[in-house]
Structure 1
Amino acid sequence: MARAPEVITRRLLEGIVPQNLLALYLQLLKTGNCPLHEAAQRLGGIQNVEALVTANMAHCGESGRDGTQWVVANSVDVVLQHGLVALAHEAVADHERLLIGQQRMSQALLTAESTTAPAIEQLVRIVTDADETDALTETLMRSAQRDWLTLDPHGSDDVAAKAVEDASPAWSSTDAKIKAICEAKNAETPARRARLESIVNCGGEVRLLPKVAMGMKIADEAAALIPLTPSTSSSTLLIQSSVIVGALREYFELLWDRAVPFATPVCDVEGISDEQLTILRLLVLGLTDEAVSEQVGMSVTTVRRRIASIRDGLGVKTRFQIGAAAVHRGLVD
């Protein structure tokens, strides 16, 4: 097996396979394939060799007429594939546990005694009217101050998509960040792909997973909406418990780290001038047109023309979207 340089191997596998196994795998690559007894000595014991074999990072095979068993490191691409499969299985298990908890929560709400129901309803409530669910979604989305997080199996977060497509003033005036996860197959549907692109072009972020088992929408740490059925939003849980919402946010971030960024065409901004980049950085800092004018020594009219040019180059419509798109494209920190 051709050995990959350690830095490349580490970059490919770090965070995908357990750190202790990565260290053992790098050591095996460094020392080279060797008889089983030597591998056990070099890797700190036969149990470490067995751990690598169990994780599909190495295999044992006979070599030579004497039947000596050798330990052979699997190629980096094979290790990476097995690592991703293991993470996918973990994600499915996470989904299943959350769905079980969701079902139990629904059952608890339906069977709660009348003396406790008012207290429970303050934290968790079942919404059965589709129009009310849509209204709640829009209200929570517009009230979000930091984050609007969506986990969407169908790629059809209509309210959020419509808001960014229309460059809604209520949405554009907030600093909330859009982060959406949906199933990869939805990026292959032209209409839904266009929706995902509209979110990205307005400064939001979209990532894809092979499978999304449930949907949810989270506004900051304040509230969350979870559909009770996978195919319709007519029955939804409104959760206003900070403890539960916090746990859902942690679950979302776990999936976010495992998801793949959605690729969208972007305009060519590599040729942006130093002058435009200076103005862009000042805009991201929140300076007004007049303040930018003083900083760069231009008239306000000229600054506004430069800002319009930057906005057109980034393919966005509003001042908020300029900053978000610039950060997304790596033009500013």
Structure 2
Amino acid sequence: MIEAIGLDDEHTSLYRLILQSPSASVDELAASVAKSPVEVRAIVAELERLGLIARQAAAPDRVVASPPSLALQPMLLDRERRLTQAHEALVELSELYRRGAAQRETPDVVDVVLGADAVRQRFAQLQASAKRRVSVFVLSDIAFLDADENHAEDDALARGVQYRVIVEKAVLERPGFIDSAREAAPFGEEIRVLPTLPTRLIIADDDMALLPMRSHGEDRSSGALLVHPSGLLDLVIAIFEEYWATSTEFISTGELPGAHDAVDRDLLKLLLLGLTDAAAGAQLGISVRTVQRRVAELMETAGVSTRIQLGAEAVRRSWV
């Protein structure tokens, strides 16, 4: 609740500490939170300004917590009032937008977004506004945003938004890709693979889509097309669904015999998707010789003599 009224972690931690103490000095608080007295004094001053703490009458150099029910309630009421006003403004602005959209001519169903920063902003906004599902094409070359910088995706997954992601095969060679995919899977991100894709793309809730004006070349991130509800958006969604139906599932749950189930399953998946022994080994952090040894062991376990037979057997046994 405290974080919800706008206090950061440092202010929240110190306020909780003061709540649990009859009174405390700046030096005592600094020792407890392993910060300098100067840093703590600044936080104490801000908490005092907000009315969350007060000076002790008998010892002005010590602070005490104000009753939370007295100090926090006005702040919560003010926050609720502001949220209500923001919601009313959102409804009004959405209605104005709806009226304007209804008068759009055919060419106006597409907005042109110019500039790399503006494209990245729209990319993040689509994810931040998603309530149910986000569908994405990921090409091997990065244009919209690096995965490590895409904090909007993490926030959306935390809200329960489902992600359907189709990546080009070459994306699998990015360092740490498998680990990231497995971390995201429990939160609702499903990844599938195709050899190549025609363009990068993101669709939010089947309500709006963003795709680059150019999918390849030096200008691939300098502009994008924002597609509003229309026959064109329906076509974009249908194309994604067609590619999704023909793509290969990346994360599998089939059990493998032996002591290295997860690694062997990932190895089989990568090899079946067409990666070389060297590329698969680099992704998994193992040598080419180790890749070849594990493949030989899997062939022996499956009772086959060729890699093609191993692939067929792996699919039949749901190892991948």
Q: Shorter chain as normaliser: what TM range? A: 0.3 to 0.5
Calculate the TM-score normalised by the size of structure 2.
Answer: 0.41
Normalising by structure 1, report the TM-score. 0.39
